Amino acid sequence: MTIMENMQEIVKLAVDNYKGQVENYSTKQANDVLRQALIEANNGKTSLSYKDVRNGSCNGLFALVEEILNNTIVEGLQG
């Protein structure tokens, strides 16, 4: 499966981890899963290149980060 196919599961894990409510993982395991998902979305690279993100070379990376932020920052600002 690709990142795009697992996007909702990854976003849910990130939001649950943010809230401290991870069901199937420890916090460390959840962080490791999220890190691996971001690396996979970044074509296996562990460093970010704004040019790759801008040019769309990292299929799904921007979308994944955007969804996670939409589900955590807005809530953080409101509560």
Interval 35-57 mean pLDDT: 89
**Contact call for residues 38 and 48 (beta carbons, < 8 A):** no
Query: What's the mean pLDDT when you consider all of the chain?
Result: 86
Query: Which pTM was predicted?
Result: 0.79
- List the one residue out of 70, 56, 67, 52 whose CA is nearest residue 7: 67
pLDDT greater than 80 at residue 2 = no
Per-residue tokens: 72: 């955590």
Q: What is the mean pLDDT of residues 41-63?
A: 87
Is a pLDDT exceeding 60 seen at residue 35? yes
